[in-house]
A and B are shown apart, each in its own frame.
Chain A
Amino acid sequence: MSQNSEKPSSQDVADPTGPAARKGVLISFRTGKTMEIPEKDILGRCRFVGEFEKLNRIGEGTYGIVYRAKDKLNGNIVALKKVRMDVEKDGLPLSGLREIQVLMACRHENIVQLKEVLVGRSLERDLKVSNLLLTDKGCVKIADFGLARWLGAPARSATPRVVTLWYRAPELLLQSPKQTPALDMWAAGCILGELLANKPLLPGRTEIEQLELIVDLLGTPSDAIWPEFSTLPALQNFTLKQQPYNNLKQRFPWLSAAGLRLLNFLFMYDPNKRATAEECLQSSYFKEQPLPCDPKLMPSFPQHRNMKGQQKPTTNQLNIPLSNLNTGANDQTNNLPAISDLLGSLVKKRRLD
């Protein structure tokens, strides 16, 4: 179809905030007839922030403040993010633009939608428990795409030092120039560990301490299990301490064999060998008792006001959850939304007593 928009007359005085006054016309290639541009394809103006009523403040990050707000038009509860502009010298920050872009392109049950706005080929880069929200209906939402970016087909080298320290994968800590979706899978492993133990799994305060914690838990990596290991830039300057044992089983003595397998699979040092989200969803961990519960059976809780971190579940016993898993896992083959499914599954696999 060709777009044949009218040219604005020279008298036209535009009000930048006004609605789109003129309509362009399309000529359909199929029928040769003219047609109006469909409403959804017309560019227009954004909604005014005044159309939303701020209810309370949910949180504050580096990039701005997030409020719980109500859409005055339809009563929906939305998250409203006010982006910090005062420190920006070069206009709207890149992170904000990326977040908007990714959210607009994403539609998945487990992702906060932009105005309820799937991650296919995108790297989250900032998966952590505080970015997971649990709705009162038991649906996990991934939030904060400020650091997400699109993956080009060939892995371009991306800025290092993304991802909150505790959830940061070893290749990132060791300054590998390539970032792959395996980063998010490491973070998913940390999240699983955190849900299992009810406390952060690897709470390092510095990059060095983070690496030590990883080595303490999983043992020192070697070229045998991770071929690129000794060529990583950071290792040219220092060496890791030797710790030959994998202590996951000691850390989670009550966890089933399938659970440990999944955790070990997520914590593969070599990013190429690490589990993919699809593989995790196939894990027998999600098929053994207690089964992932139907989202409707997830514990619900009253809406808290002014509370951060509502996502932390309180029970110690893992369990239950997830049923959309089975359906989810099968149709994932050509699409890659799987990491959000996986996180959904992880959280849903907790016991509600």
Chain B
Amino acid sequence: MFHSFKTFPRYITACCCLFLAGKVEETPKKCKDIIKVAKTLLTDQKFSTFGEDPKEEVMTLERILLQTIKFDLQVEHPYGYLLKYAKCLKGERAKLQKMVQMA
């Protein structure tokens, strides 16, 4: 925990994480599209934390976010292991699938 959500409003941060994750996982999404969706999902009051220029806000945060994680984008996800584990289990496929989904 390095930064407070007080200084860096959580909704902008969330958008920025999605924006960056899109690039890292080779499925880039346009910043303005992410903001558009955020606007439809959030109440006006919550969206007001995005300020005058939401895109600029997200861009600025991108740099801070990258510096905070030291540009270390190689995250080992648990999903791979989870799937491997599920494959070892015997049982009904549908149930196993549900279990993986829930995990």
Q: A and B: real partners?
A: yes
Known: A13-B4, A149-B26. A45 touches B62 (CB 8 A): no
Residues of A participating in the B interface, judged by any CB pair closer than 8 Å: 5-8, 10, 12-14, 16-17, 20-22, 24, 43-46, 90-92, 94, 97, 100-101, 104-105, 149
Contact code string B2-44 (vs A, CB < 8 Å = 1, else 0) = 1110111000000000010001101010110000000000000
Q: Of the listed stretches B71-79, B83-91, B92-100, name the one at the interface; the rest are far from the partner chain.
A: B71-79
Determine the chain B residues whose CB is within 8 A of the CB of A7 once the complex forms: 1
A-B pairs with beta carbons under 8 Å apart, 7 shown: A6-B1, A8-B3, A13-B4, A44-B70, A91-B58, A94-B23, A104-B71
From B23, B24, B67, B72, give the contact of A45 (CB < 8 A).
B67
How many Å lie between the Cα of A46 and that of B66 in the bound state?
A: 9
Task: Evaluate contact between A97 and B4: CB separation under 8 angstroms.
Answer: no
Residue in A8, A22, A92, A104 whose beta carbon sits within 8 Å of that of B72 in the complex:
A104
Q: Does B68 sit at the interface, judged by CB under 8 A?
A: yes
B68 adjacent to A8 (CB under 8 Å): no
Q: Are A45 and B70 in contact (CB under 8 A)?
A: yes
Using a CB–CB cutoff of 8 Å, the interface residues on chain B facing chain A are: 1-4, 6-8, 19, 23-24, 26, 28, 30-31, 58-59, 62-64, 66-74
Contacts of B62 in A (CB 8 A): 91-92
A22 interface neighbour in B1, B24, B69, B71, Cβ under 8 Å = B1
Which residue, of B1, B3, B24, has the highest number of chain A Cβ atoms within 10 A?
B1
Could you tell me the distance in whole angstroms from the C-beta of B56 to the nearest C-beta in chain A?
10
A16 and B68 contacting across the interface, CB-CB below 8 Å: yes
- Answer whether A43 and B4 are a contact pair too, CB < 8 Å, given A92-B62, A100-B73, A101-B73: no
Alpha-carbon separation in the docked complex, A44 to B30 (Å): 28
Tell whether, in the assembled complex, residue B74 and residue A8 are in contact, meaning their CB atoms are under 8 Å apart.
no
Known: A16-B64, A90-B28, A92-B66. A46 touches B71 (CB 8 A): yes
- Measured in the bound complex, the distance between the Cα atoms of B26 and A94 in whole Å is 8
Residues in A neighbouring B8, C-beta threshold 8 A: 14
**Structural contact, A91 and B74, CB atoms closer than 8 A:** no
Instruction: Check if A45 sits within 8 Å of B68, measured CB to CB.
Output: yes
Q: How far is A12 from B71 in the complex, measured between Cα atoms in Å?
A: 24
A100 and B71 alpha carbons, distance in the complex (Å): 7
Contact pick for A101, options B4, B24, B64, CB 8 Å: B24
Contacts A7-B1, A91-B62, A94-B28; is A14 near B67 (CB within 8 Å)? no
A318 to B59, CA, bound (A): 51
Q: How far is the CA of A309 from the CA of B31 in the complex (A)?
A: 38
A12 to B28, alpha carbons, bound, how many Å?
33
Q: Given the complex, which residues of B lie within 8 Å of A91, measured CB to CB?
A: 19, 23, 31, 58-59, 62-63
A14 to B4, CA, bound (A): 6
Cα(A97)–Cα(B62), bound, Å: 12
For the complex formed, measure the closest distance between the CB of A176 and the CB atoms of chain B, giving whole angstroms.
19
Chain A contacts of B66 at CB under 8 A? 92
Report the nearest B residue to A100, measured CB to CB: B71
CB distance from B69 to the nearest CB of A (A): 5
Question: Are A16's CB and B73's CB within 8 A?
Answer: no
What A residues does B64 contact at CB under 8 A?
A: 16
Q: Is the CB of B19 within 8 A of A101?
A: no
CB-based contact A12/B68 at 8 Å: no
| Cross-chain contact A97 with B1 (CB below 8 angstroms) | no
- Compute how far the CA of A14 lies from the CA of B2 in the bound complex, rounded to whole angstroms: 7
